[in-house]
Amino acid sequence: MARRSDDTKRRILDAAYELFYKGGFARASVDAIADAAGVTKRTLYYHFESKSALIAAVLEIQHELLLARIQRWAAGASADPATMVEVLFSKFAAWAKQDRWQGSGFTRAAMEFARSPAHPARLAARRHKAAVEGWLAEQFALGRIKASRNLARHVMLLIEGCHSLILIHGDPSYADAAGEAARFLVERHCDRRPKRAANSG
């Protein structure tokens, strides 16, 4: 019985994610989600007390999946921070070329609920972006970059910027341009050559 309940809950979450991503969090109705999941609205509310709770649950799953995906993308190049960011942005570009790509779900959620800072979608977006930035800072620190947190913030700005511009212009090459800028920033931070003395010949 517990297995059946878990399967039903997962169907609701999967259906909700599809509708949220396609049409927006606010526009997807509970009736439409229940219908897509093949359950009654009463069953949906048995598993989730409100639409806001459902949104929070969907975004929590997406947070875990996306963070794991980013970590997997970077795994082969994590020893070299400059190569790592180049790989990440190339993966972002490939992701953006997919037919169904409509931008970052977390960014879209934050924008939809811009006037409700305490909404679960805003809180989930904040946690996800902070987690990605924190992970980048950890990777840069492992690469012996002293200003790792500052660099992670700069790279996050490039990630958000390229995602927004790709969505606006429909041009994934913005991820390539952002990757070049990110590599330049990382290499600049990695430059540990000693400065020459002013009177050296």
Does residue 137 surpass a pLDDT of 80? Answer: yes
| Residues 30 and 44: beta-carbon distance below 8 Å | yes
Q: Which amino acid is at 28?
A: A
* pLDDT at residue 2, rounded to an integer: 60
Domain at 59-190, CATH from 1.10.357.10, 1.20.210.10, 1.10.645.10, 3.30.200.20: 1.10.357.10
- pLDDT tens digits along 78-132: 779 999 999 999 999 999 999 888 888 999 999 999 999 999 999 999 999 999 9
Q: What is the mean pLDDT of residues 138-166?
A: 94
Q: Which of 1-5, 129-133, 151-155 has the lowest mean pLDDT?
A: 1-5
pLDDT in tens, 158-197: 999 999 999 999 999 999 999 999 999 999 988 544 444 4
Report whether pLDDT(135) > 90: yes
* CA end-to-end distance (rounded Å), the chain: 81
Confidence tier at 13 by pLDDT (50, 70, 90) = very high
Q: What is the mean pLDDT of the chain?
A: 90
Q: Is the pLDDT of residue 150 over 70?
A: yes
**Position 17 confidence tier, pLDDT thresholds 50, 70, 90:** very high
Q: What is the C-alpha to C-alpha distance for residues 132 and 134, in angstroms, rounded to an integer?
A: 5
Residue burial 90-129, b: 16+ Cβ < 10 Å; e: rest: ebbbebbeeeebeebbbbbbbebbeeeeebbbbbbbeebb
Q: In percent, how much of the chain has pLDDT > 70?
A: 93
pLDDT band (50, 70, 90) for residue 46: very high
Topology, domain 1-48: Arc Repressor Mutant, subunit A (1.10.10)
Cα-Cα-Cα-Cα dihedral sign, residues 137, 186, 69, 104? positive
Domain boundaries, the chain: 1-48, 59-190
Nearest residue to 28 via CA among 13, 38, 37, 18: 18
Calculate mean pLDDT across residues 152-158.
97
Q: Same topology for domains 1-48 and 59-190, yes or no?
A: no
Question: Looking at residue 191, what is its pLDDT?
Answer: 55
Going by C-beta distance under 8 Å and a sequence separation of 6 or more, which residues neighbour residue 102? 21, 22, 108, 167
Number of Cβ atoms within 10 Å of the Cβ of 187? 12
Confidence of residue 27 (pLDDT cuts 50, 70, 90): very high
